[in-house]
Amino acid sequence: MKNNRIYWLSALCFLIFFINFPINSFGNTVLGESVFPAEINDRFIWDSVNATESWYTEVDYIRFTATNIYNETNNDKNYLFVNYTLEYYHRISWVPEHINSFYMAYNKTLDFLNWSVEGFQHGDLFLFPTPVNYSLIGEAIEIAGSLNYSISGEKLILDYGNTTTIELTIDPSGISTIIERITNGTTIYRWELNTDEIIIKVPFGNYYLIVMIISVISLVIVKKKKLSMAFKH
């Protein structure tokens, strides 16, 4: 009876540990001299902490997943390529915006950074190669989108014209910790990197986890009662 109780208690402890253990385990991928601040299948989530424009007000989270990281040769030069999936947690479900889309190409030796227009518009603002080179990032964005940029400490400010700017606070690991779009002095959206322990965010996901915990506890209690009755007989 003691062994069974230990078994069920161990199972419960494992479940609680698994739920509270961060799903994200951020590493980095090194290909030659090129470094990208993620490994394949790494997921990064930003919380929407302030939004004033329609649609963005209904977005709770933004999730970036590195789906593929690989070397590609062009004109006898190796480049680090990244594919990504970008999703928005809109209302009660994850809405995929871009799935396995081309993201960027990078070569540290050549001081080269570039990406497709799709990547520039939707995926380039989240993760950058390291060590972070603000001028290189700014110039690549400027060429891809015909934008002006400025640098202020760890912040890269992109001028989209029409009194609209996007301000990126990029940490030394190459991750945008804050992404804020401002128009006419008003924040349209502000996303902050979620560095806490991340629970899988699915519709009614928290309720599902609670039910799992209650189910395991119930099993332990039922098992204990059965063993107790068997022992009495």
Question: For the segment 106-128, what is each residue's pLDDT rounded down to a tens digit?
Answer: 888 888 888 776 666 656 689 98
In a domain, 102, yes or no: yes
Residue in this structure with the two tokens 């004033």, named with its chain if needed: 52
Model pLDDT, residue 22: 40
Residue in this structure with the two tokens 């809109």, named with its chain if needed: 90
Mean pLDDT of the chain: 76
> What is the arithmetic mean of pLDDT over 203-223?
45
Residue 180 pLDDT exceeds 90: yes
- 93-102 per-residue burial string, b: 16 or more CB within 10 A, e: under 16: eeeeebeebb
Q: Given pLDDT bands bounded at 50, 70 and 90, which one contains residue 219?
A: very low
In a domain, 154, yes or no: no
**Phi/psi of residue 109, nearest 5 degrees:** -60, -40
Of residues 31 and 80, the one with the higher pLDDT is 80
Residue 84 pLDDT exceeds 70: yes
Model pLDDT, residue 203: 39
In a domain, 151, yes or no: no
Domain of residue 81 covers 24-132+194-198
In a domain, 144, yes or no: no
Least confident of 3-7, 37-41, 103-107: 3-7
Q: How many domains does the chain contain in total?
A: 1
Q: What gap in Å lies between CA 140 and CA 142, rounded to an integer?
A: 5
Q: What gap in Å lies between CA 215 and CA 225, rounded to an integer?
A: 15
Q: Given pLDDT bands bounded at 50, 70 and 90, which one contains residue 142?
A: confident
In a domain, 149, yes or no: no
pTM: 0.71
Least confident of 25-29, 68-72, 203-207, 225-229: 203-207
Residue 96 pLDDT exceeds 80: yes
Q: According to the 3-state scheme, what is the secondary structure of the chain?
A: CHHHHHHHHHHHHHHHHHHHCCCCCCCCEEECCEEECCCCCCEEEEEEEEECCCCHHHEEEEEEEEEEEEEEEECCEEEEEEEEEEEEEECCEEEEEEEEEEEEEEECCCCEEECCHHHHHHCCCCECCECCCHHHHHHHHHHHHCCEEEEECCEEEEEEECCEEEEEEECCCCEEEEEEEEECCEEEEEEEECCCCCCCCCCCHHHHHHHHHHHHHHHHHHHHHHHHHHHHC
Residue 61 pLDDT exceeds 50: yes
Question: For the segment 9-34, what is each residue's pLDDT rounded down to a tens digit?
Answer: 554 444 443 334 344 446 788 876 77
In a domain, 168, yes or no: no
In a domain, 13, yes or no: no
In a domain, 92, yes or no: yes
Residue 202 pLDDT exceeds 60: no
